[in-house]
Structure 1
Amino acid sequence: MSKKPAAATKPAAATKPRAVTGAAAAVKPAVTIRHYCQGIGDCHLLTFPAPDGSPFRILIDCGIHVSVQGGPALVSDIVADVKSQTGGKIDVLVITHEHWDHVSGFLTSKDLFAGFDVKEVWMAWTEDPADQQAAELDRFKGAALTALQGVSQRLDADRAPTPYLASIRDGLQSMLGFQFGAAGERVRSARNAAASLSKSKPIYLEPGKPPLSIKELPNLRIYVLGPPRDKAALRLEEKAGEMFPLASGGPFARALAAGLKMNDGTGDATYVDELCPFERYVGTDLSAALHGDKGSDTTLDIAAFVREHYSGLVSHPAANEDSDQSWRRIDADWMGIAADLALQLDRGVNNTSLVLAFEFTDSNNVLLFPGDAQIGNWLSWKDLKWQQEQATVTTADLMARTVYLKVAHHGSQNATPQKQGIDLLTNTDLSAFIPTNKDDAKKVHWGEMPYDAIVTALAEKTSGRVIRADDKWLADKNGKPPFAAPSGSIRAVRHAPRDATRGPGGLWIEVDLA
């Protein structure tokens, strides 16, 4: 398989909509994409017909969110279906990024994947152990996850958390579901299991390099748009222009680690909490004051002060009543910064998504697969350029020629930007797939996912050719999409419901694309 730049063709402007009849619909598709419908997770099988008639197959991710009931069994069904379609032969396995809902299947269905023959594995530069910047990112992720796990365990042990801390606990459980399996399996183990399916070392990709070519598919070029090298775009910087706060995990991780050490007693006499605003031996520990310690200040009874103004019942004889001051307690509120750290980590990992644009040089059509890329990743593409002999290809040009979009990050609000995203998708043949189950997203407190404004904008851009993993018609073997097929980029649509034991819904939706 060659990775050299392919021969150039002059980029084409956005095409006009096709009027397709039965005869035209019978034309062999440029690619067939089978999207699996696990609800919260990604798995996509792309089959390209080679000139000699043989299929060339690219599998992108295989995972499901830990919160989805019966998830591992459903993923096993998916892997079994992939194997039945491919005979276990995968030419390229693409791993977009380290989130459980994109890689869990390589671990939970490891036995099924053991029989696969994978020629190559593609990953982003962020997964390269020999890359210095990737190593910095790894240190950040490790420190952040350690701190978040500690806070999560502490909040789980609190039998009566405040509403604020209860919301922090629920949010952490949701976010950590991306990083760990139900039994505590690390997402790194799943990613490594995927890499081990090929006898060759993974190929690490980064944006700005010449597009990839595949000798078996002379009409295909593959552009790498993300993840960016720019630190600000990854959104893991403390302030613009500063170095990554990665070696020690950043201020949030350091603060949480320090607080956990001091609270569980592992911060011994030599331990220094660099973020504490006071000297170590100044003041009285709250726990001591709560147990009646008067403190070293002879002018003030610290225990009485804390009880009367912070933690307990205070008698008011004149009014013949007691007032409870415990509502003032914020003993554990320092753990609230875990929410900020979790958002920083989740956003950063999503921004490390590998983003691929598949260009057909004969039709000039483009397929865009952005993984879970969020705003920082998307905005980094706008200045990318590739020189193809006499023509210059830009990101705006690729997006204008995009006829098929795998919607990023399950259609969330902080992915698929308007100006640098949807507004640039101007091809009138555009169609889209959203790998989301709205009910499952609500169960993990994600709010509105997919985001209604994005769904509405895509429906307008595609003339209604938007497919969702939770579309009701997918559960019916005789179901039909709400749009005509063929139309736009879609030549044909097929689907299969799940086995009834796995619950309602579709197992996969397959589209032939022009």
Structure 2
Amino acid sequence: MAAAKKTPTPSKKPPRATVRTYRHGLGDCHLVTLYGARKAKYQIMIDCGVILGTANAGAVMTEVMDDILAATGGSIDLLVATHEHWDHVSGFAQAAESFAKLKVGAVWLGWTEDPKDADAKQLRGERDNALALLRAAAVRMQLDGGGDGEPNLLTSLLDFFGAAARTTTASALELVRAKVARPRYCDPKDLPVELDGFRGRIYTLGPPRDMKMLKKTLPSAKAPETYGMALAAAERSIGQALANPEQQPFSNAFRIPSRVAQSTPFFQQRYWNDEAWRRIDVAWMDDASELALALDSMTNNTSLVLAIDLDDVGVLLFAADAQVGNWLTWSDCKWRVGGKPVTGPDLLARTVYYKVGHHGSHNATLKAGGLERMTALDVAVIPVDHAMALKKKWGDIPLDALVTALGKATTERGYVVRTDEELSATAKRRGARMTRLYVEVDVF
């Protein structure tokens, strides 16, 4: 009988990095500590947010920010905001008083947030126009009786932009930008930033410069990827409906005013009842939901993706919410370091720690061009709150098939962590630590 394999135990040598991921709900917040010579530390904070609708969100995010202040002594080397979604940036505003106490050496944002970049200006213009239409559509939906107070696709997607909050994603991002005089707007074409004294460097993999790839968000069996709905077509459809409040499927000669019909027993029984599928008066709102999905996915695809390469250890990959188009462009990323070529696939092959994209959704971890290339993967961490995802009607977060694939990819050397679940026995044996507020992983 073959001898049973021994489970790897935590290394006795000092770690090269520690990643603390907060368990504050459906959102992202990470504190990365790199260790260098003579007990030097380089500390990076990546995102700080939680989904709109989280109970006591201000108190929750203040607790997170206060923990970061305590863990860092009130000072970090680098602050990263990956993209303009509420579940990634809300904490900067919700915990503004605590955030104001944090000293920051540098701020990194994606090139898509550069106010002087022409392509970024175009993207912001498209996003702002779409958001204005969607907010108007959400109000019109309520007025037309298309909302019953329960979350629907349109309103839940608008949550990502803080549409119902006193502050917005844009204002939260401004608090980040204001931390330093000159933020860096990262581009995949940039040379990696050397981490002097820490035997490593940081590469930018995304967001891509290709506008077509920014809008490429969904996998498909036919392509195998397809594009989302074109923003312009959806905007025209919604704009026409909003510009004509009386727009209806039938002409005046064949139409009864809504208020009259609502008070008529015949229509009360046959129309305003539980069989909402029979109604066609708000069918035009299908385009609003399609537009919201396209806008949400494209914003995810503007995620700043960082690969922290520690020479003697491997790569820590923080993919934020990058979706298909973002991932696909990494194959074209090339740099020269020390006279030798380095490519995006090289970095994936050396990835030992993966912050799983977009809470483990179906289109935020590529298969052949992503996870299957991570042949050295030790640890995968999924920041997620499945109970909240269910409330938001996102039942497939995290996707079971992806969680299974991550388990297979890490089973020989490491483990998978979900922030909404307790650590597995294997994760504990292999050195992971968890408190009520965060999970912490050492990288050797």
Question: What's the TM-score, normalizing by structure 2?
Answer: 0.86
2:441 counterpart letter in structure 1: V
Instruction: Tell me which residue corresponds to 1:448.
Output: 396
Given that 2:319 and 2:357 are in contact with CA atoms closer than 8 Å, whether structure 1 keeps it comes out as: yes
One of 44, 51, 54 as aligned partner of 1:68: 54
Aligned partners of 1:156 and 1:169 also within 8 Å? no
Answer whether contact 1:104 1:181 (CA < 8 A) is retained. Answer: no
Change beyond 3 A, Cα 1:485–1:183: closer
2:405 is paired with a residue whose SS is helix
Q: Is the 8 A contact 1:496 1:508 kept in 2?
A: yes
Q: 2:220 matched to 1:220? A: no
For 1:256, the equivalent position in structure 2 comes to 238
Task: String of CA shifts for 1:112-162, please: whole Å, max 9, x gaps.
Answer: 111111111000000000000000000011000000000111112334x3x
What amino acid maps onto 1:252 in structure 2?
A
Residue type of the alignment partner of 1:495: M
Query: Which amino acid in the other structure matches residue 511 of structure 1?
Result: V
> Deviation digits for residues 52-89 of structure 1, max 9, x if unmatched?
31321100000000122222211111001001111210
Q: Distance in 2 between matches of 1:168 and 1:439?
A: 16
Letter in 1 for 2:193: L
- What is the TM-score when the length of structure 1 is the normalising length? 0.75
User: Is the 1:34–1:44 Cα contact (8 Å) retained in structure 2?
Assistant: yes
1:178 aligns with 2:108: no
SS at match of 2:37: coil
| Counterpart Cα distance in 2 of 1:388 and 1:167 | 55
For the pair 1:41 / 2:36, whether they are aligned, the reply is: no
**1:208 alignment partner, one of 185, 189, 204:** 189
Structure 1 residue 482 corresponds to structure 2 residue 425:
yes
Cα pair 1:34 1:45 within 8 Å, conserved: yes
Q: Which amino acid aligns with 1:173?
A: T
Q: What's 1:362 paired with?
A: 312
What is the CA–CA distance in structure 2 between the aligned matches of 1:392 and 1:143, rounded to whole Å? 42
Cross-structure match for 2:130: 144
Q: Aligned partners of 1:253 and 1:112: how far apart in 2?
A: 40
State which of 337, 340, 345 in structure 2 corresponds to 1:391: 340
Q: What residue in structure 2 maps to residue 131 of structure 1?
A: 117
CA–CA distance in structure 2, aligned partners of residues 383 and 349 of structure 1: 21
SS at match of 1:146: helix
Q: Do 1:56 and 1:216's aligned partners in 2 also have CA atoms closer than 8 Å?
A: no
Structure 2 CA distance, aligned partners of 1:215 and 1:390? 18
Match of 1:419 among 368, 372, 377: 368
Letter in 2 for 1:45: L
Partner of 1:405, secondary structure, is: strand
Measure how far apart 1:185 and its partner are: 1.6
* Structure 2 unaligned regions, length at least 5: 218-228, 263-268
Closer, same or farther in 2 for the Cα pair 1:99/1:31, shift >3 Å? same
List runs of 5+ in structure 1 lacking aligned partners.
1-16, 238-244, 265-284, 291-302, 314-322, 474-479, 498-506
In the TM superposition, 1:482-501 aligns within 5 A as: 482-485=425-428, 487=430, 492-497=431-436
Distance 1:347 1:52, change over 3 A: same
Q: Of the two, which has the highest radius of gyration?
A: 1
Separation (CA, whole Å) in 2 of partners of 1:169 and 1:399: 38
Give 1:331's aligned residue. 281
SS at match of 2:312: coil
Identical aligned residues as a percent: 39
Of the structure 1 ranges 67-76 and 127-136, higher mean CA displacement relative to structure 2 is found in 67-76
The structure-2 alpha-carbon separation of the partners of 1:286 and 1:255, relative to structure 1 and needing over 3 Å to count, comes to: closer
- What is the match of residue 117 of structure 1? 103
For residues 240-275 of structure 1, the C-alpha deviation after alignment (integer angstroms, 9 at most, x for no partner) is: xxxxx99xx6221232123212218xxxxxxxxxxx
Displacement of 1:396 after TM fit? 1.5
Residue in structure 2 matched with residue 188 of structure 1 by the alignment:
170
- 1:22-60 superposed Cα distances (whole Å, 9 cap, x missing partner): 7xx221100011110122100000111231313211000
Contact 1:83 1:116 in 2 (8 A): yes
Residues 1:493 and 1:289: Cα distance change in structure 2 (over 3 Å): closer
